[in-house]
Amino acid sequence: MARLFCNLHPIVLASASPRRQQFLRELGLDFTVRAAAIDETPMPSERPEDFALRMAEAKARAVAPGHGRAFIIGADTVVSLDELILGKPRDDQDALDMLTRLQGRTHRVITGLALSCTEQGVHTSTATVTSVQFATFAPEVLAAYVRTGEPMDKAGAYGIQGRGGFLVRKIEGSCSNVIGLPVNTLVSLLLRYRAIAPARGAATAPA
């Protein structure tokens, strides 16, 4: 399959998320993974957008040393209901409690995205918000989903790109943002700062 984009600079993803890695691979980009080890505890009364941005920026800063020419991508996704941050569930009961709270309601998925390149003097960050409305299902349906194990490594205890997609009635905004990376925003930033370019040989739009 022909590549969509090619690298003009090295790219480092400051995240071990397999979903974010898959997005970059689908774009045709070469990258290395350097998962950042940082404290991911929200501050008292910290707004979800502020927390997501702070985490994304901290991840990018943590892996920047030794990668001066590279563009570092830091990202952090949170689920927010009534301005409260719903992180990854601690156990099955916690996952079931989260899903029960989300039933029949609209919550927000916020991804903080940071892009940094020391050599180019690039340090920018932004937050993308998607509204997600859940349908309502019987408790035994939610319990069956929890037993699949899918909720355990996901903020808000569900994965829209996996089996958990059946929970979602409607979204407003970027779907990729809900999965963990606002691809439109990322590609726009990488093109703006000339970190990537369209791959050679790609088809051109008609005049």
205 found inside a domain: no
- 57-66, 111-120, 198-207: least confidently modelled range: 198-207
Residues making up the chain, counted from first to last: 207
Closest CA to 152 of 98, 85, 112: 98
Q: What is the pLDDT of residues 71-127, one digit of tens each?
A: 999 999 999 999 999 989 999 999 999 999 999 999 999 999 999 999 999 999 999
Mean pLDDT estimate for the chain: 94
207 found inside a domain: no
204 found inside a domain: no
* 93 half-sphere exposure, CB direction, 13 A CA radius: 0
82 found inside a domain: yes
Catalytic residue among 39, 76, 82, 91: 76
Whether residue 202 is predicted with pLDDT greater than 50 in this model: the reply is no
Mean pLDDT of 3-30: 96
Closest CA to 120 of 10, 4, 5: 10
In this prediction, residue 200 carries a pLDDT of 86
Residue 15: CB atoms within 10 A of its CB come to 24
Q: What is the pLDDT of residues 129-168, one digit of tens each?
A: 999 999 999 999 999 999 999 999 899 999 999 999 999 9
Closest CA to 71 of 184, 201, 197, 199: 197
Hunting for tokens 């957008």 — which residue is that? 49
Confidence (pTM):
0.90
In this prediction, residue 203 carries a pLDDT of 46
112 found inside a domain: yes
**CA-to-CA dists, residue 92 to 143, 157, 197, angstroms:** 9, 9, 44
Domain that holds residue 174: 5-198
Whether residue 204 is predicted with pLDDT greater than 80 in this model: the reply is no
Q: Does residue 76 carry a catalytic annotation?
A: yes
Whether residue 193 is predicted with pLDDT greater than 80 in this model: the reply is yes
58 found inside a domain: yes
For the chain, the domain total comes to: 1
Contacts of 85 (CB under 8 A, 6+ apart): 42, 48, 51, 78, 79
Residue 52: CATH number of its domain: 3.90.950.10
**What are phi and psi for residue 48, nearest 5 degrees?**
-55, -40
34 found inside a domain: yes
